Amino acid sequence: SSSTSSSTSSSTSSSTASPGRVPPRLYVDYLIPLPSSTTAADIDPWPGGLAQMSPPFTQIVKEILSSLIPGSTSTQIISEEDCSTLLIHETSSPSTDIACVIFPSVDDLNKLQEIDKMVGARPLILFNKQFKRPSDFGFKSKAAETSIFNAFKWGYALQEFSCRGEEVKLIFDGEKWSAVCLPDADTDEEVILVEGVCERPEYDFLTERINDVLPEPLWQRQMQKAKKDGLK
């Protein structure tokens, strides 16, 4: 997790350190380390959902902010139900203060607009947002498109999810997107799906790439492995 934190702060710093440019509005998707008590038998390492993730993630974000610029960080709950939290990192000069929101949801749109006005020319970072597209906001989609989707850009992302039953890791390093597949749980071998592209790869595209590089589904490979191991 320390290397992830380091790369996150490095990418975020490069996006926030240019004076005189448009005020940076960034998305960051951070892969939260699993609890130390997690075992291989755990179906869900986060049974408490966002409420369980929030305390350790808040501490991680505080450490990232401190690595960007010295200061003190205060927190304010935006929504207890959605576990969204505002962090204000106050530095030696108000002009270099940084604001973050962790787990912002569609229900936080009005509050996000208020925070945006309050922050002004200073950086505002949305960590692990709980929405993907303007339509997620329903009848507020137009307002969301203007105040969020047209204003923010990706600063850093490290995401893990299942695609066609395969474990996929999606990375944005501050400039380009890449995606790898982890076809064998027993090894760290990675199969490159795409690398060095400007646009975030869509789910359907990643599915097609997996079909190209791993035509046999996971269950079929596991059966073949079991048969092979059984012959020994």
pLDDT of residue 218: 75
The residue assigned the tokens 């596991």 is 222
* pLDDT-based confidence at residue 39 (cuts at 50, 70, 90): confident
* pLDDT-based confidence at residue 23 (cuts at 50, 70, 90): low
- Give CA–CA dist 95/78, Å, rounded: 23
How many CA atoms lie within 13 Å of 95's alpha carbon, on the beta-carbon side?
A: 4
Please answer whether residues 130 and 104 qualify as being in contact, where contact means their C-beta atoms are separated by less than 8 angstroms: yes
pTM, rounded to two decimals: 0.83
**pLDDT tens by residue, 139-162:** 999 999 999 999 999 999 999 998
CB atoms within 10 A of CB 170: 21
pLDDT of residue 13: 61
pLDDT of residue 38: 82
CB atoms within 10 A of CB 78: 21
Helix (H) / strand (E) containing 84 = strand 84-90
pLDDT of residue 90: 96
* pLDDT-based confidence at residue 9 (cuts at 50, 70, 90): low
Please answer whether residues 27 and 153 qualify as being in contact, where contact means their C-beta atoms are separated by less than 8 angstroms: yes
